[in-house]
Amino acid sequence: MARIVMKFGGTSVADLDRIRSVAARVKRQVALGDEVAVVVSAMSGVTNQLVGYCQSLSALHDAREYDTVVSTGEQVTSGLVALALQAIGVEARSWQGWQIPLLTDDAHGKARIRSIEGATLVARMQAGQVPVVAGFQGLGPDHRVTTLGRGGSDTSAVALAAAVRADRCDIYTDVDGVYTTDPRIVSRARKLDRIAYEEMLELASVGAKVLQTRSVELAMKERVRVQVLSSFGDDAPPEEGRLPGTLVVDEDEIVEQEIVAGIAYSRDEAKITVRRVPDRPGVAAAVFGPLADAHVNVDMIVQSTGADGTTDMTFTTGKSDLARAIQVLEAARGVIQYGEMLTDADVAKISVVGVGMRSHTGVANTMFRTLSDRSINIQVISTSEIKVSVLIAAEYTELAVRALHSAYRLDVA
């Protein structure tokens, strides 16, 4: 017997048929003897409609009223899933954030969870009732409904799993797990049985958007074992001792550790180079201070110093920040005193991710050699403990991902 939190996203509860199928899946889990709690999103499309209403009435809408309106999507699903469970003989009861209560701070529209009262829900689960919790919402200190920001239902589920000390938090999505890379690019991409929290965070932040980043951070902090799996997969119960999806866990739980877990890529990159900046102390601050003030997110940074007493600074931002970054730097030209500014939005970032890198050398070198063998020029390099990223021309994205996937022996046999 285990205690499981099952979370179903918008496409998994898109209509009444899908809701019935969610109920059937929950019933199978209950039939295994498990204690189960469910967390649900709004039916797909509903949240967008409600957000549209709010934006239409007031461009700068009051976040408290926005939360009142938008949180109803999850409330509806929670009631409907409870009804669908009861209809097939599973005791169930819906729970809104204010009823649990799931307390948050007062940052309406993007609130953070402060505490969840788990005792009542645990008692219900132990009595054989399935709590169906409306995701994405909580109760603020002002006694009003708060929402956790888009995708917040993943975070609700992980936080709930921590509060009820669940053995696992199963996140049902429209993919059947986390892959070594994008299967649309590499047909021999392999589904990972397990992935470490840190790896999942790096993969998510470079474009493999399976789980909301906040939910992974929370899972890592609270040591909640998260499984990503498909709500559209076959309906047979998983084989004994084997899970159908990808388990996101502490790296200690990954016995046969691969050095590299996966290859990620992002085309949402733009490169900016300011050239011939007088090389003096404080030059980096002069460049990046105004960008930070303008809320431009800067990612990779390299600086190279020439022999003539000037230096070149190259960095990347998201494509949507490029225009603002250019504007900021042009305005600051007098202070920075750069010679010229070059920009390039036709770039991609390729990342090799794996906690095994910590104890293995040569990972970066394999990457550089593999790209060099394909005559792919590396424009920028950045590294962390468990990741090596390079910036290349966007047209080489697929070639680079495929070559690296093979080089690190990630191809499925």
Residues contributing to the annotated binding site for ATP: 7-10, 173-174, 179, 184, 209-210
Q: Which is nearer to a second copy, 73 or 177 (CB)?
A: 73
> Measured from the CB of residue 51, what is the shortest distance to a second copy in angstroms?
12
String of DSSP letters for 29-61: HHHTT-EEEEEE-PPTTHHHHHHHHHHHH-TT-
Question: Which token pair is 260?
Answer: 């590299």
Q: For tokens 């070149």, name the residue.
A: 312
Q: Which is nearer to a second copy, 79 or 207 (CB)?
A: 79
> Measured from the CB of residue 347, what is the shortest distance to a second copy in angstroms?
41
CB neighbour list of residue 253: distance below 8 Å, 6 or more residues apart: 194, 225, 247
Distance of CA 159 to the CA centre of its chain: 15
Distances (CA, A) of 26 to 23, 35, 97, 135, 284: 5, 10, 21, 17, 54
Q: Which is nearer to a second copy, 64 or 324 (CB)?
A: 64
Radius of gyration of the chain (CA): 24
Q: Which is nearer to a second copy, 32 or 88 (CB)?
A: 88
CA angle 74, 78, 80 (to 5 degrees): 115
- Tabulate helix, strand, coil % of the chain (nearest 5): 40, 25, 35
Q: Rounded to whole angstroms, how far apart are CA atoms 203 and 216?
A: 11
String of DSSP letters for 202-213: HHHHTT--SS-H
Q: Which is nearer to a second copy, 86 or 310 (CB)?
A: 86
> Measured from the CB of residue 39, what is the shortest distance to a second copy in angstroms?
15
Q: How many CB atoms lie within 10 A of CB 124?
A: 19
Question: Which token pair is 151?
Answer: 């995708």
Q: Rounded to whole angstroms, how far apart are CA atoms 1 and 51?
A: 41
> Measured from the CB of residue 12, what is the shortest distance to a second copy in angstroms?
16
- Binding positions for a second copy, rule: CB under 8 A: 16, 19-20, 50, 53-54, 56-58, 61-62, 64-66, 68-69, 72, 75-76, 78-80, 82-84, 86-87, 93-94, 96, 98-99, 143-144
Question: Are the CB atoms for 405 and 390 separated by under 8 Å?
Answer: no
> Measured from the CB of residue 222, what is the shortest distance to a second copy in angstroms?
27
> Measured from the CB of residue 232, what is the shortest distance to a second copy in angstroms?
20
Q: For tokens 């649900």, name the residue.
A: 40
Q: Which is nearer to a second copy, 56 or 187 (CB)?
A: 56
> Which residues line the annotated binding site for substrate?
47, 74
Q: Rounded to whole angstroms, how far apart are CA atoms 205 and 189?
A: 19
> Measured from the CB of residue 96, what is the shortest distance to a second copy in angstroms?
8
Q: Which is nearer to a second copy, 53 or 297 (CB)?
A: 53
> Which residues line the annotated binding site?
7-10, 47, 74, 173-174, 179, 184, 209-210
